[in-house]
Amino acid sequence: MKSDDVIVKDSLINGKGVFATKNFKEGEVVLHWDISHLITKEEFEKKTDQEKTNIFLMDDRYGIMAEPEKYANHSCNANTTAKNFYDIAKRDISIGEEITVDYSEALPPNVFLRCNCGSDNCKKIIKRSG
């Protein structure tokens, strides 16, 4: 969902990223996902491996990630957590900081991504947790 609270621009993590244009307090909503592109499990299974990396599975619903949230980079030490199609600040986030998310929270099963986030707890391979 379009938001004035963040902007998309080049990221040092990977390609483009999402950056805060205001200060967020811990617990505050940072991103509200656009869920107007939901797909069925059957449609999901027909997608290519590359396309699957841009699809979320949340609350048993598959959907295609929209802007700006599709540009949010993963970190194993993310500053937000996904809940009910929102990304919520896990700690205070300062203006200008890159918004990072934990893909393992919303990645569909059997989709694997490599991680180079460099954090101490880096999982190296990102896959759905639980």
Binding site for Zn ion (CB under 5 A): 76, 115, 117, 122
Least gap, CB of 104 to Zn ion (angstroms): 10
Beta carbon nearer to Zn ion, 69 or 102: 102
Beta carbon nearer to Zn ion, 64 or 106: 106
Beta carbon nearer to Zn ion, 44 or 100: 100
Least gap, CB of 119 to Zn ion (angstroms): 6
Q: Give yes or no for a contact between 13 and 73, defined as CB atoms under 8 angstroms apart.
A: yes
Least gap, CB of 120 to Zn ion (angstroms): 10
Alpha carbons 128 and 111: distance in angstroms, whole number = 8
Q: Give yes or no for a contact between 62 and 40, defined as CB atoms under 8 angstroms apart.
A: yes
